[in-house]
Amino acid sequence: MTDPYLDLLPRLRRIHRLSGAMALLSWDQEVTMPAGGARSRAGHRAALAEIIHAQLTDPEVGKLLADVAARDDLSREARADVRETTRARDRAVKLPAALVRELAETAALAHPEWVKARADDDWQRFAPHLAKLVELKRQEAAALGSVDEPYDALLDEFEPGLRTAEMVEIFAGLRPALADLVGRFTTPDPDALSLPAGPYPAATQGELSRRILTAIGYDFEAGRLDISAHPFTESMGHGDVRVTSAFHADNLLSGISSTMHEGGHALYEMGLPESLRETPAGQAVSLGIHESQSRLWENHVGRGLPFCRWLAPLLAETFADQFGGTTPEAIYRAANVVQPSPVRIEADEVTYNLHIVLRFEIERALFAGQLEPAGVPDAWRQFTRQDLGLDLADDRRGALQDIHWCTGSFGYFPTYTLGNLYAAMFWNQARTDLPDLDQQLAAGEFGSLLGWLREKIHERGSILTAAELCRDITGRDLCADDFVAYLEAKHGELNSL
């Protein structure tokens, strides 16, 4: 009698490999593809999405999964393979192939239109694409079914099992706490704390980012750094994890933050267990955990005083004309200015989650049928006024700022907040476990932190669920306490300086 697990594995490997090819189609579209290739690319993505869907919904996979699940001698890796594949397959079988194909094609065609719409601040250019994507995602949500409301089905794609009601509860606690922190800690005179005005040439910022990435442990033999309209990380598979960043001539810290953020994502992908390559158990467990890695490196490390101590001489060397006399403390203060601003990826740690609340509310309303796509820019302005106290002058820095919708990723944003909460919990634990951490970071020694993250998170792939992982590492369930306490302590101290 053959072991059904041994028959299942090659099928899972094939699905993984085809998904890797799909990742390259996506990376290339955002980084290297000429504009004229958009229509052909939509065809590639539609065909491959349909094939992956067919592979996953193949009845033989269902049978093998059931046979494997019925065995009582499964390794924990096999159990994770079954869990993750069952989840993905249960979703896939509910979706008609034609919808899968059309969503892939529509998203691929929407991406270049979003790029142009954002560059030209031309909402109308993007509007019909958003309308079509929302319509298709509504069909998807209806086909998937949900616990309470259609948006549940979309959240579940990125954070398995996450429900809208849970996010509502998280935000219900977080929102007043953030409002209080914003009230107390908004920097009175941000201009007084600005770094030298630049200009910082993109090529030099790119070189700086390469040095930073190399220092924190990113392996350029297994990746590359490019520039794209919106920074992102894409893994084509083990040994090929690429990041992009975006550089602004007048804002050095924005580029460093983007690089640290994507570097954090990439270190997670690069640290996944080689022994489980091409299996579901060997992949990242959830987007929430993924964002915990990006936000931990971006904020807890990158916006911390020890890191600024390491960064200061590097900036002085790279931009000698501007950074001659800038102290680590000045960089630290500039990196931690609290100031409501329209763009999420440039937001400080205190106001950042307000940007997520805004997107969550809009997405939820879209999928509850309370908001039509045409009403999004107005809703965006209204929320920006209400939650951030800002009047938006354009859509470029408003409803057009993020790439997620044009890729069909609705329900992704809340994972950033989950990531912030997880990151604060993991950070507390790491500081307990690594008492010398501050000195190490100040000396540019990132190895023991990376080693800790690898051991506790990266090397475990999907063997534990996100919730189990959190309990295993911190002894507690996900909560906002550590995050709020972290902001309170850091900005309280900054304010008292």
- Does 59 bind a copy of itself (CB under 8 A)? Our answer is no
CB 14 to a copy of itself: min, Å: 5
- Does 4 bind a copy of itself (CB under 8 A)? Our answer is no
CB 67 to a copy of itself: min, Å: 23
Residue 317 CB burial class (10 angstroms; 0-12, 13-18, ≥19): exposed
- The answer to whether the bond into 4 is cis (omega within 30° of 0) is no
CB 102 to a copy of itself: min, Å: 13
479 CB-near residues (< 8 Å, 6+ apart):
421, 425
What stretches of 368-480 show up as alpha helix (H) in DSSP? Answer: 376-383, 414-433, 437-442, 447-456, 466-474
Comparing CA positions, the residue from 329, 294, 337 lying closest to residue 311 is: 329
Comparing CA positions, the residue from 400, 393, 390, 373 lying closest to residue 120 is: 400
- Does 38 bind a copy of itself (CB under 8 A)? Our answer is yes
**Which of residues 17 and 89 has its CB atom nearest to a copy of itself in the complex?**
17
d(CA 293, CA 456): 12
- Does 267 bind a copy of itself (CB under 8 A)? Our answer is no
The CA angle 479-485-490, to the nearest 5 degrees, is 140
**Which of residues 185 and 218 has its CB atom nearest to a copy of itself in the complex?**
218
**Which of residues 33 and 131 has its CB atom nearest to a copy of itself in the complex?**
33
Q: Which of 4, 62, 190, 237 binds a copy of itself (CB under 8 A)?
A: 237
Q: Which of 112, 160, 223, 288 binds a copy of itself (CB under 8 A)?
A: 223
- Does 442 bind a copy of itself (CB under 8 A)? Our answer is no
Structure token digits, residue 367: 């999928």
**Which of residues 190 and 237 has its CB atom nearest to a copy of itself in the complex?**
237
Contacts from 160-167 at CB under 8 Å and sequence distance 24+? 160/87, 160/286, 160/465, 160/466, 162/288, 162/414, 162/418, 164/364, 167/360, 167/414, 167/417
Footprint of a copy of itself on 16-35 (CB under 8 A) = 16-18, 20-21, 24-25, 28, 32-35
d(CA 22, CA 45): 7
CB 38 to a copy of itself: min, Å: 7
- Does 221 bind a copy of itself (CB under 8 A)? Our answer is yes
Give the strands of the sheet with 233-237, arranged side by side.
225-227, 240-245, 233-237
* Residue of 30, 157, 234, 262 marked catalytic: 262
**Binding piece for a copy of itself, criterion CB under 8 A, among 46-54, 244-252, 344-352, 419-427:** 46-54
Secondary structure (3-state) at 336: coil
Q: Which of 87, 238, 456, 471 binds a copy of itself (CB under 8 A)?
A: 238
CB 405 to a copy of itself: min, Å: 24
d(CA 426, CA 336): 21
CB 116 to a copy of itself: min, Å: 13
Secondary structure (3-state) at 109: helix
Comparing CA positions, the residue from 299, 406, 417 lying closest to residue 358 is: 417
CB 103 to a copy of itself: min, Å: 16
Q: Which of 5, 12, 30, 46 binds a copy of itself (CB under 8 A)?
A: 46
Residue 207 designated active-site: no
Q: Which residues bind a copy of itself (CB under 8 A)?
A: 13-14, 16-18, 20-21, 24-25, 28, 32-41, 43-44, 46-48, 50-51, 219-224, 236-240, 242, 277-278
Question: Which residues are annotated as catalytic?
Answer: 262
